[in-house]
Amino acid sequence: MFEKVVLRRSDNGLPLSVGEIAEALLFYQNVHLILDHSTLAILVRQIGMPHFLRLLSKPNVSAVYCEESLATSTENISNKYYHKFVAMTLAGNQEAGALKSRKKRIEFILNREGYNRRQSKRLAESFCRRVPLKKLSDDYFIAGGVINAVNSDIVDSNFVHEAMRRAVAGLSGKVIVPADFQFEIISSQPTFQIITNFDFDALNVDLKAKDPSHEDLTPAHLANVILEASTDTVLAAHYGGEFYTSNTSSDLIQLRHKGLLKRIGIEKNELGEFNEIVINDAPSVREALNSGVKSFDEFLVILDKSQKFRDWVQGVNPDEKIVREYMNSINSEAWINRTDSKILRYILGSGVTYVEPVIGGALSVLDSLFSDKIFQGWRPSHFVDNRLKPFLGEK
């Protein structure tokens, strides 16, 4: 349990944050990051590139850089909209000129985040040495690339309809998904058309009432949800084990491939319960770091002291709940520290007396040494109460 996790997206679909990575590091033995240019920029902004490189140097942390942006392009031809799934790479801009290599593109990101040219060059070189570049659009993750994979998914009309219904239900707020909801993709690869009866104008009015800066959503935006879910499916199958991505994408993967992400869904719930029940009077690790209340440097100090805790987490039976096992460890400790330790002392004392009553007077010394060995062993509550909770503080 909690042996390895692959992280790609936050629950809400945004790029990974340092808080989510930190939380994974605290519970999982090994953490693998799937980075793109937006995630890299966010992490550099949150903790700085030197700290991020320090994190990547840890033996239990690895990463891959997939810099392509996945999108759904739209072209209007004679008042008919034709869509196409694409994978794009930043080619440059007027200020920076052409960016013909990965290193140059990373330098560009670092420049925008405040590093000067010399710093950006040095840090980009270090990043490129540590993190391999892989393309989503070529054959590395799947033959034909992820665009070919999603084009196969959209021919399943039942999947498309239910996937889009769920996606709309997750976005719509006050707008109710109609009972006769229609969303159909007519594929003529590599392009496709969308037929839908959903009122996107009403949806956008509702979303902008909550956030005036919210971008208008279109049918192409919803189609892109399928593109992201198909990509996550390919990546999850490639890496195996636990895969962490957006809630929407996870839902569509479960719809399309039941059971593929079942384990990670269980473990995400386990972490939620642990934060709610065990760390109930303190913010979660994610909240503490993302809010800026705690720094990444402070977290690394806690992380360096967490190996026993992570070993314990990994040793929890996959068929048991981590909170239950944690509570059992506390209850057994309290049980030992109360009357039951006296029973064992009595047994030990009787045994010694039975062998040689004369040495019974030395029992108190032996008892102290022996019981310290047995009853004062490490327990997960030692780390939580003495390290983690003081670090997190109170809500």
Mean pLDDT, contiguous 10-residue spans, the chain (395 residues): 91 93 94 96 96 94 96 95 95 84 95 96 98 96 96 94 92 78 94 95 88 90 95 93 89 82 70 85 90 92 92 85 84 48 42 42 45 59 91 80
Q: What is the pLDDT of residue 94?
A: 77
**Cβ-based neighbours of 391, under 8 Å, separated by 6 or more:** 288, 294, 298, 299, 302
Q: Distance between CA atoms of 395 and 393, rounded to whole angstroms?
A: 7
* CA dist 163 → 170, 297, 364 (Å): 11, 41, 69
Task: Dig out the tokens for 307 from the structure.
Answer: 């190996």
* CA dist 313 → 50, 230, 316 (Å): 30, 31, 5
CA gyration radius for the chain? 27
Angle at 12 between CA 262 and CA 202, to 5 degrees: 115
Q: What is the pLDDT of residue 270?
A: 84
Q: What is the pLDDT of residue 362?
A: 45
Burial classification of residue 105, based on how many CB atoms lie within 10 Å of its CB (0-12 exposed, 13-18 middle, 19 or more buried): buried
Q: What is the pLDDT of residue 332?
A: 56
The pTM (predicted TM-score) of the whole model is 0.84
H/E element holding 187? strand 183-188
Q: What is the pLDDT of residue 33?
A: 98
Classify strands 191-196 and 80-88 as parallel, antiparallel or unpaired: antiparallel
